[in-house]
Amino acid sequence: MEPFIKIKSIATPLDKVNVDTDQIIPKQFLKLVQKTGFGQYLFYDWRYEKDGSAKKDFVLNDPRYRDSKILLARNNFGCGSSREHAAWALLDFGFRTVLSTSFADIFYNNCFKNGILPIKVNEQVLQKLFESRSEIEIDLEKQTITNDGVVISFDIEPHWKKILLEGLDDIALTLQYNNEISKYENAQSNSSLRVS
C-alpha cells in the first residue's frame, strides 16, 4: 500500500448528503476480479448521460477539479453496501482523502485499508472548505488541514495513522500475533463449549 504522508491539491466539492456506495460504484461494475481500473466507473450514473457522454453539471466533469486528490463530501458518506470497490474507484480516480462530517462504518474502514485517509470534521469547518476555492494541504504526521492560511487539526485513531504513514500490510501485522491466535484456538478446541 502506498504510504500517506502529506498531500496538497484543490478539493472536489460533492454537495450531497447520504451518498451510498451504490452511487460511488454502481453494481454493474462489481464483476471485475481485480482491484484496479474502477476509476473510470466512479459515480457512473451521475457522471455520464445514457449515450456515454459526460454530464456537464456533475462536479467530477468540471475541468477545474481535474487534478484534485481531495473529495469534500456531506454527512453519512459511503453508506449502504460493504463493496470495497467504492474505495478502489476513489483511489483509482486519484482521490487520496475524503472529508466529511461523518462516514458509514464499513466504508470508513475500507478507505484506510487502501491508503485513503477519511477525515471527520465539524459542520463549520466542512462548510468553510466547501466555500473555499484555494488548495488544501493535508499533513497526516501533524494531523492538520491547511486552507487559506488557516490551520485546523483533526483526529485519527493511532493505529490507522501508523498504518497509513508507513503503508503497512495489516495481515503481516496480525501474523506477528500468531502465538496468541493459536493459544485462543487451543483453548477453544479444548472447551466443552467449542462451536466447531
Contact map string, positions 9 to 48, toward another protein, x by CB under 8 A: ------xxxx-x-xx--xxx-xxxxxx---------x---
Our CA angle for 153, 110, 121, nearest 5°, is 25
Q: Which C-beta is closer to another protein: that of 8 or that of 159?
A: 159
- 104 contacts another protein (rule: CB under 8 A): yes
Give the residue, chosen from 37, 49, 170, 186, that forms a contact with another protein under the rule CB under 8 A: 170
Give the separation between CA 167 and CA 5, rounded to whole angstroms: 10
Give the residue, chosen from 74, 91, 98, 116, that forms a contact with another protein under the rule CB under 8 A: 74
191, β-bridge pairs: none
Give the residue, chosen from 65, 98, 110, 138, that forms a contact with another protein under the rule CB under 8 A: 110
Q: Are strands 97-100 and 6-9 parallel, antiparallel or unpaired?
A: unpaired
Contact map string, positions 117 to 156, toward another protein, x by CB under 8 A: ----------------------------------------
For residue 192, the Cα-to-chain-centroid distance in whole angstroms is: 43
Give the residue, chosen from 69, 80, 128, 152, that forms a contact with another protein under the rule CB under 8 A: 80
Joined grid coordinates for residue 130? 466547501
- Least separation in angstroms between residue 35's CB and another protein is 5
Give the separation between CA 127 and CA 19, rounded to whole angstroms: 17
Give the separation between CA 182 and CA 60, rounded to whole angstroms: 48
- Angstrom CA distances, 131 to 11, 124, 125, 147, stand at 10, 11, 10, 11
Residues in touch with another protein (CB under 8 A): 15-18, 20, 22-23, 26-28, 30-35, 45, 50, 74-76, 79-84, 87, 102-106, 109-110, 113-114, 157-159, 162, 170-171, 174-175, 177, 180-181, 184-185, 188, 192-196
